Structure 1
Amino acid sequence: MSGLQALYQDLAGSLAAHPEAAKHTKTMVQHNEVTESLTTPDKYPLRDVHAQALQKKGQTMFNPPRDSAQSSFLDDKELKRYGYVYEVFFPSTEPFFITMQDVLKAIGLQWKFFDETGFNSSVEHEHCKRYDFESMVYPPTGARFCQVINHVQGTIVAYDNISPMEALKESGNYDAQVPMIKYWSDIAFLQWDLMKKQNADSDLRYILRYNVVNNLTNSMVDTINLENGTETKAWPGTSYDATSKEGQALLGTPNGSSVAYLLIQHKNQLGHKTVEKITVFQHRRLLMMLFYIKNVEA
């Protein structure tokens, strides 16, 4: 049994006592298939593990399946077309962002927002408008995708993201049509591209998953700590090489695989990139995951 499989087996055991264990276990098994296809290093050269695996199997994991791993949503105008509304506000007036600024300071990144002559811009899209497509009616779902983007230093901070599927589940509306653009990897790229118009030379280098609340991701972090006799600490936290068993397990979580998908689906736009390492840390008891992005040499 591989180290990655052992970690997942331990995670399954830790979820067994959960009142929704059956649902979580089913999700974990399905996601384990995604993880193996994305991160098993003995099948492909390490630098191409994500891209080659997804080209072979990954496109079938989308609903509906795609003919290619490359995304078909490449124009930020499509967000409006599919019912997403761009929300504008000034972060420096929001107490919530003070904590985020503390995190950015600790990491060593520029922390001021654009309304304070800084580099960071908050980009928020909410799915709150109905749209019609091919005789189908797509109602608003209440989904929202919120990132802080710094094009000067090449940073995306994913801080408040609820997919249409999750929003509909929370509202109890299981019959509504889901918009065609529905994945974080697609929308975060379009938001990045929208802001890139202010700095055409920007290069994506960091993705920070801020305040990670996903149960599977948190359980995987707990399992890694249990395996290694460690704990999640304040910055600088603990870093894992992306090719290590811990790095592979983290990339297999919902928060990790979405980062991998963003890079894979937008190789033509972002360049050939991969995750180099992941730093796991906490700030005021909030779980953070910082993904370091690097270019793959030709």
Structure 2
Amino acid sequence: MKLALVLAIAAATHSVTTGTIKTPSPSTRVFNSNVSGTSPALINRKPNEERPTVTFWDDDHATEVDWKKSAAKGGALMCALEGSDQVAGRQIRDTREPPSAASRYNSDLKTELHDWYWRETNPSTFSCSFSEHWHLAHAMRSLGLDGKPASEGGDNQCYRIEHWNPENRDDKGNQIPAINQWYSVPGHDKQYRATKAHFEFGINTKGGAIYGLFLESALASAKSIWGGGTKEPNRDDLPQLRAFSDIMWAFWVRNNPNVRNIRYFFMIGISNDLTNQIIASCLRDAGAELSEWPGTSFSTTTDQGHALLGSPNGATFAYFLMQHKAQLGQKTITKITVFRPETDDDLSFVDASLCFHVADGPQPPPDDAAMAATDEAGARSVQRTSLRDSRDVKGISVISMIRIHEIYI
């Protein structure tokens, strides 16, 4: 049986949606796979604006097609995580010899990010207040993590990076809109246009955690401001450096004496429709409800764990580990925990969050043996790969490079 799955990586189509409380109406839901789950209201949020309320509907489940695609994608990502770099490179159809999954972006990227017109701005004042603002104090304590921002003596430092220059002004002192901002990149002959993409995230190098907060990919943002929300941008016009996994890495390695100390990834306050539908399906299968920490955990050896890892909010973390095996060692994701904030709010008025548990993985077999075993089993992975990078947030959505895998079972 031939199963084709689209790895729309991106890390990242996660974000928190603003707006009024919605009435359950699964039949009227619209999911756009090119959008990271960020609402127009969030795109225009003020830097220190209060976190909006997002509704999670426990009876709005993933369709059979979406479930199978996400589970297959998650399974493929687990194979890449647990294989060697060469095996992972073959899986993503890398053209180097020998093949490798390693990202070409493996430093702090200060020069590269600036060249590609990314600018750091101030994150929200509450972003790294995981215990107080996000109401995750028990989860933080249980995992041995500090829940305070660095500004209050805590271990968490938040960052926000945007793909435009908010300081650009015209002759009259007016801010130049992102759609009218153009830039050149050393070594490239063309002019590029700003997308106004943004990634806001937290890093705790001491505790070993990375938190995804407010995220919108270059593809999703360009579609919104260049194409009025309807026209897909030409991917050649997007910044080559746009994957959330690469940007996370750039900040993770800065002033970090132990880059291998990655223990947890979080997506906080998920609003992406497809991810929420997958979460609802997983909880239904487990006979569980969305609950406070310890929540409900799903092993990545299960279909549920695969579906969560392959969801728009999961794949970017797999890429972070898979593309930096040389620096991190052989890391894998063992389980994914679904949980909600520790508040008295009604279940209908809280966001689901995800925690991805990272551990050292077993050393893979030699590449030749691994490939022989794969051939013997009759499973041939990754027949063709699109070089459109859907790893941008990635939608995660990860949305900037879409890799197409065909797996023969």
Alpha-carbon separation, structure 1, partners of 2:127 and 2:75 = 44
* Residue in structure 2 matched with residue 107 of structure 1 by the alignment: 140
Instruction: Give TM-score scaled by structure 1 length.
Output: 0.78
* Residue in structure 2 matched with residue 201 of structure 1 by the alignment: 258
Question: What amino acid is aligned across from residue 152 of structure 1 in structure 2?
Answer: K
2:74 to 28, 35, 57: 35
Residues 246/167 of structure 1: CA separation in 2 closer, same or farther (3 Å cut): same
Matching of residue 58 in structure 1 with residue 123 in structure 2: no
Question: In angstroms, what is the RMSD of aligned CA positions?
Answer: 3.3
* Residue in structure 1 matched with residue 221 of structure 2 by the alignment: 167
Q: How many residues are matched? A: 270
Q: CA deviation at 1:117?
A: 1.5
Specify every segment of 5 or more residues in structure 1 that has no aligned partner in the other structure, as ranges: 6-14, 61-66
User: What is the CA deviation profile of residues 196-249 of structure 1, one whole-angstrom value per residue up to 9, with x for unaligned ones?
Assistant: x1x312511111111111121111111122223222111110011121221111
Alpha-carbon separation, structure 1, partners of 2:205 and 2:33 = 39
User: What is the CA deviation profile of residues 156-197 of structure 1, one whole-angstrom value per residue up to 9, with x for unaligned ones?
Assistant: 011111110111122243446211111111111112123xx1
Contact 2:127 2:213 in 1 (8 A): no
Q: CA deviation at 1:38?
A: 2.2
Question: What amino acid is aligned across from residue 136 of structure 1 in structure 2?
Answer: K
Alpha-carbon separation, structure 2, partners of 1:269 and 1:250 = 25
Question: What amino acid is aligned across from residue 132 of structure 1 in structure 2?
Answer: S
User: What is the CA deviation profile of residues 5-57 of structure 1, one whole-angstrom value per residue up to 9, with x for unaligned ones?
Assistant: 9xxxxxxxxx99455479698x9476566334224xxxx6x971596764233
Q: CA deviation at 1:155?
A: 0.7
Contact 2:88 2:101 in 1 (8 A): yes
Residues 111/249 of structure 1: CA separation in 2 closer, same or farther (3 Å cut): same
Alpha-carbon separation, structure 2, partners of 1:71 and 1:169 = 26
More helix per residue: 1
* Residue in structure 2 matched with residue 87 of structure 1 by the alignment: 121
Contact 1:145 1:188 in 2 (8 A): no
* Residue in structure 2 matched with residue 127 of structure 1 by the alignment: 163
Question: What amino acid is aligned across from residue 71 of structure 1 in structure 2?
Answer: S
1:118 to 154, 170, 192: 154
* Residue in structure 2 matched with residue 11 of structure 1 by the alignment: none
Residues 22/128 of structure 1: CA separation in 2 closer, same or farther (3 Å cut): closer
Residues 59/207 of structure 1: CA separation in 2 closer, same or farther (3 Å cut): farther
Structure number with bigger Rg: 2
Contact 1:50 1:264 in 2 (8 A): no
Contact 1:126 1:144 in 2 (8 A): yes
Q: CA deviation at 1:58?
A: 2.3
2:202 to 148, 170, 173: 148
Kindly report which structure 2 residues correspond to 1:227-242, keeping only aligned pairs within 5 A, or say none: 227-242=285-300
Q: CA deviation at 1:83?
A: 0.7
Contact 1:37 1:53 in 2 (8 A): no
Contact 1:107 1:235 in 2 (8 A): no
Alpha-carbon separation, structure 2, partners of 1:16 and 1:54 = 37
Q: CA deviation at 1:89?
A: 5.1
Matching of residue 191 in structure 1 with residue 191 in structure 2: no
Specify every segment of 5 or more residues in structure 2 that has no aligned partner in the other structure, as ranges: 6-24, 35-62, 166-181, 344-349, 364-409
Instruction: Give TM-score scaled by structure 2 length.
Output: 0.59
Alpha-carbon separation, structure 1, partners of 2:319 and 2:193 = 26
